[in-house]
Amino acid sequence: MAAKGYKRMRFIDRNVGVPLCFLFGHFDRLLGLIRRRRSVHPLEKILVVAPPAIGDAVLLLPSLRSIREGFPEAEIHLVAYPVNEEIFENCSYFDQQLVFNNQEYLQEPLKVFRFLHTLRESKYDLAIDFGQWLRTSALITFLSRAPRRIGFRTVGQHRHWVFTETVTHKNDLHEMECFLELVRVLGLSGEATPPRLSYDASHVHFAKNLSGQLKKRSKLLVGVHPGGALQGSLRLWDTDKFALVCDRLIETYEAAVILTGDCDDRRFTHSVISKMKCPALDVAGKTSLKQLAALIAECDVYICGNTGAMHIAAAVGTPIVALHGPSDSRKWGPVGSDHVIVRKDLSCVPCTSLGWEYRCTSGRCMEMITPDDVFQAATQLLQL
């Protein structure tokens, strides 16, 4: 269901968003509506528009921190989305969070005008859009009426017209660094410190209560995330291979295995468990994002593909075995050193930069990863 909604959003975003970005941007210039750029200092009100993904939200945290430290007196508002708003809860880097509920607005279009009215009434001095391809976020930035608007110029996405300043989105640079390049336009250092995700005592209690029961009868706790197919099944690894790895870890290390995911990932976690010889705990769809983060922090190692959960694991300091097929691990890999990337060197890899524009349908790059590859990678981390 979520995948269908995502595809519908992308269809509307491209077929409606591209013409609007072109028209708004060119009319803005033609009619001379772009006001003279204000001085960087002082900026009293700043709007930050986040990308609409969980992993991107985690990777955005260092940029948010840099903006807050650079403009400590400014009032900073953040636009997030239902899928990632929880990542930003209780974050001290901004003053107010606004949620752009695109699915709700498709059902009740009048609500989007109320949202935009709220932005326009706020009279922002600066708006920064960290979206890489979404025309909707570019339009939010433009319609905020901030006189200075900064965003990415991404090849083939036709959204840069609505910005007053652009930064080229680079395929050969890690996404966290790409975000920081937008911040550096403001004259800030944009220090590339690893993202750190915080959560409160209730999340810790939830995680320790659950993991404590498992650790009573096991020496190690291994987290496994077999899903994450919202942007295409080519990122997925076979569930029978996940099952083999899980059984081998349990038999070799007396580990306890906990399978994670959201409600849409249940079909993958159920499939893994049905193919395992040993018991495992399935919490897919039973945790919030912050509960998941706290639970991953209790794991000795976390095994997953290129998903938002991978970036959450990195942000709480858990060693990761990251399976990368069509995506570029140099751009989308976990931030930090205690991780192992499992991938195959094929001439066609990587075939996606933005996370969805796959150039093949075979999935060979994921199929060639063997259970032994993943087990050996996990062993490497467990022996550190």
Percent of the chain residues topping a pLDDT of 90: 70
CA nearest neighbour of 147 among 304, 301, 34, 48: 34
Q: Do 135 and 211 lie in a common domain? A: no
- The reply to whether 189 falls in a domain is no
**Average confidence (pLDDT) over 148-175:** 94
Q: Quick one: average pLDDT of 66-73?
A: 95
Do residues 168 and 214 both lie within one domain? no
What percentage of the chain exceeds 70 in pLDDT? 92
Distance CA 17, CA 136 (A): 6
Output the six-digit token pair for 188: 């800030």
Cα-Cα-Cα-Cα torsion 304, 4, 98, 146, nearest 10 degrees, comes to 110
**In this structure, which amino acid lies at residue 170?**
K
pTM value?
0.93
Q: What is the tally of structural domains in the chain?
A: 2
Average pLDDT score, the chain: 90
Classify residue 1: in a domain, yes or no.
Answer: no
**Residue listed under structure tokens 């800030």:** 188
* DSSP secondary structure string for all residues of 17-36: HHHHHHHHHHHHHHTT-SPP
Could you tell me which residue, 66 or 215, shows the higher pLDDT?
A: 66
Residue numbers of the domain that contains 49: 9-184
In a domain, 321, yes or no: yes
CATH classification at residue 377:
3.40.50.2000
The arithmetic mean of pLDDT across residues 303-307, rounded, is 95
116 and 209 belong to one structural domain: no
Answer yes or no: are the C-beta atoms of 120 and 144 closer than 8 Å: yes
For residue 40, what pLDDT is reported?
Answer: 46
